[in-house]
Structure 1
Amino acid sequence: MVRSPNLQPNQVAFRVPPNCNKFDIHSYLTNIYGVNVQEVRTMNYATEHKRSRNGKTEVVQSAYKKAIVTINEPFVWPAAPEWCALDEQQHKLGTKAAGRKLKGWRFRASPEDKDKQKQVNQDLMAREQGSSGKK
């Protein structure tokens, strides 16, 4: 599934292989997921090539097909899990730390940033220990 902000509430966008046709997508969604499909629209996107400095062409993105499916009931994206928020916080704090490192040794983290980093690391460790205990 692809997040597309310009779609109607009862439309969903998918990224499918180029050899899939509308009938395949329609039958897949109705038979596997039990969704009532009203309409399927598809768009083909070509392979993107990029030329490197030494003159060789490289494939940047392979070809794909985008399908916009209209369903009977409105679709609502599920809420993001809480572990995504922890990873996002860790990424933001790490980016700030890397920026300080680039500025030189004189720019140290504030005590608030250090406390945030410790708290996020503790939460991540607790999550890891909890998931390893379940296995």
Structure 2
Amino acid sequence: MTKITDKQPNRYGFVVRPEANKLEIKKEVESLYNVTVVDVNTIRYAGKRSARYTKAGLVKGQKNAFKKAIVTLKEGDTIDFYSNI
């Protein structure tokens, strides 16, 4: 969870499940933070391949794929991430 700074106020980023859709993301954010969501944009990131050379030889692997959601809130609404701590 991050706030996208001064250039785009009222926009927050979340890492979400890859199978989550925009309607589910909107409902969850509205219920968790008691705000009004105007727009949801999603970005899918593919898992990156990686390789290392070790004594045993070449070890290949892959980082996990993930999905980000950029949520735009109604003018005047904010999310306080530290209120639950």
TM-score under structure 1 normalisation? Answer: 0.50
Number of equivalenced pairs: 78
TM-aligned CA distance change 1:6 to 1:19, over 3 Å: farther
Query: What corresponds to 2:50 in structure 1?
Result: 50
TM-aligned CA distance change 1:23 to 1:5, over 3 Å: same
The letter of the residue matching 1:35 is V
Cα RMSD over matched residues?
A: 2.3
Report which of the two has the higher share of helix. Answer: 1
TM-score under structure 2 normalisation? Answer: 0.75
Query: What corresponds to 1:40 in structure 2?
Result: 40
Report which of the two has the higher share of strand. Answer: 2
TM-aligned CA distance change 1:64 to 1:78, over 3 Å: closer
Q: Distance in 2 between matches of 1:7 and 1:23?
A: 26
5+ unaligned residues in a row in structure 2: which ranges? none
Correspondence 1:67 to 2:69 = yes
Tell which has more relative contact order, 1 or 2 (C-alpha 8 A, sep 6+).
2
5+ unaligned residues in a row in structure 1: which ranges? 80-135
